[in-house]
Copies of this chain bind each other. A is one copy, B any other.
């Protein structure tokens, strides 16, 4: 099991550099590269970070991207990627680390005719209705075929609202699946596997989940089952509650989160890693995340606004294209509008993470957090 003191560069390691309150500055090392934490991982759903050249994702500051097991197992299939290219990295031309999810979340949200048993999940593809099966062992096999650097256990995700009994049962099954995933992962040098804490918004279930997972022993721990409609307050409360229970010397990953504010607040509660489709999805729908808050570029007030999204920002997508031009592209349904905004959003998220890391390093995270939130609230003066 990799620990903080492990600096072998042929294997996974996590180094906690410093803390500021509960906010943590760290670094994950993997043979394919290092990940500065707190880190935001752009989502490369089906082998592409939608609408962005990977060179630009890298240049924006991303150390790691995420790939979706569910999408890739259906098309083009993990076997095809493995046989033709050896890894998802070679397939999509990304030479840094990749984290893959287990597929479980998307099976629950996208597929049809699901049947969950102790063995695993039978489901039908949302693309063509074909029958598929995902078990803990199969989820690990797919991630091994993709040769991802950080792999996630398969967990059972319950549809909310659910009774406490149903949530407890799903959490306990997730624990049994965690043990099977850890066993299937075995000792794979240079790669890592994370367990996922479940238990909804029930403190005793979260405690039981953390105990079970840390007993098994993983390279890192994800906080799952949040940001699924419970509201920001509960999300942050249970993020903090769970983070407080997790080992200090291992990375903590809050799955599927979130807005810039969610991320800033979760960092304040001890989270190290994030992923979300929000920057690219919002970009495809005409929305920009900036230092001055969220802008809807479809809005007519940007028609004659010759300022860039973020004046003075050195990034081309944030600092060079005028709002009037982007407004025009969005209204005209032009691909370039989606490209500019997707890249601008990914770049802003990375700038936010860089600002967070710098602030923690300098022991002024609280000041940074307040200033950042104030700037979002106040926006850019006209």
In the complex, A76 has a CB within 8 A of chain B: yes
Q: Which of B47, B52, B303, B336 contacts A50 (CB 8 A)?
A: B336
CA separation between A65 and B244, bound complex, in Å? 58
Q: Of the 9-residue stretches A162-170, A248-256, A323-331, which lies at the interface with chain B?
A: A323-331
- Please tell me if the beta carbons of A84 and B306 are within 8 angstroms of each other in the complex: yes
Q: Does A361 contact B (CB under 8 A)?
A: no
Residues of B within 8 A of A328 (CB): 46-47, 75-76, 91
From known contacts A84-B324, A324-B84, A339-B339, infer whether A48 and B93 are also in contact, taking CB-CB under 8 Å. Answer: no
Nearest CB of chain B from residue A292's CB, rounded to whole Å: 20
Q: Is the CB of B50 within 8 A of A335?
A: yes
Report if A1 contacts B (CB, 8 A): no
Contact B85 A329 (CB under 8 A): no
Among A85, A328, A334, the one with the most B-chain Cβ atoms within 10 Å of its Cβ is: A328
* Number of A positions contacting B (CB below 8 A): 33
In the assembled complex, which residues on chain B have CB atoms less than 8 Å from the CB atom of A335? 48, 50-51, 284, 335, 338-339
**Cβ–Cβ < 8 Å partners of A321 in chain B:** 93
Asked whether, in the complex, the Cβ of B339 is within 8 Å of the Cβ of A53, the reply is: yes
Tell me, yes or no, whether A16 is within 8 Å of chain B by CB: no
Contact: A80 with B304, CB < 8 Å? Answer: yes
Q: Is the CB of A7 closer than 8 A to any CB of chain B?
A: no
Copies in the complex: 2
Cβ contacts A38-79/B at 8 Å (1 or 0 each)? 000000001110111100000000000000000000011000
Question: Is A296's CB within 8 Å of the partner chain B?
Answer: no
Q: Which residues of B contact A334 (CB under 8 A)?
A: 46-48, 50
Knowing A53-B336, A339-B335 touch, does A329 contact B47 (C-beta < 8 A)?
Answer: yes
- In the bound complex, residues from chain B placing their C-beta under 8 Å from that of A214 are none
- B85 touching A336 by the CB < 8 A rule? no
A291 to nearest B CB, angstroms? Answer: 21
* A92: interface (CB < 8 Å): yes
A304-336 interface bits toward B, Cβ cutoff 8 Å, 1 = contact, 0 = none: 101000000000000011101100110110111
A336 engages B48 (CB within 8 Å): yes
Q: How far is the CA of A85 from the CA of B284 in the complex (A)?
A: 25
A48 pairs with B80, CB closer than 8 A: no
Chain B residues within an 8 Å CB radius of A75: 328, 331-332
Within the assembled complex, what's the spacing in Å between the Cα atoms of A75 and B324?
Answer: 12
Rounded to whole Å, the gap between the CB of A378 and the closest CB of chain B is 25
**A351 to B352 CA separation, bound complex (whole angstroms):** 40
| A interface, CB within 8 angstroms of B | 46-48, 50-53, 75-76, 80, 84-85, 91-93, 284, 303-304, 306, 320-322, 324-325, 328-329, 331-332, 334-336, 338-339
Q: What are 27 sample pairs from A and B whose C-beta atoms fall under 8 A apart?
A: A46-B328, A46-B332, A46-B334, A47-B334, A48-B329, A50-B335, A51-B339, A52-B336, A75-B328, A76-B324, A76-B328, A80-B304, A80-B324, A84-B304, A84-B306, A84-B322, A84-B324, A85-B306, A85-B324, A91-B322, A91-B324, A91-B325, A93-B320, A93-B321, A335-B335, A335-B338, A335-B339
Known: A50-B336, A84-B322, A91-B322; 4 extra A-B contacts, CB below 8 A, are A47-B328, A85-B306, A92-B325, A335-B339
Top 5 A-B residue pairs of the complex, sorted by shortest distance between their CB atoms = A51-B335, A48-B336, A76-B328, A48-B334, A46-B332
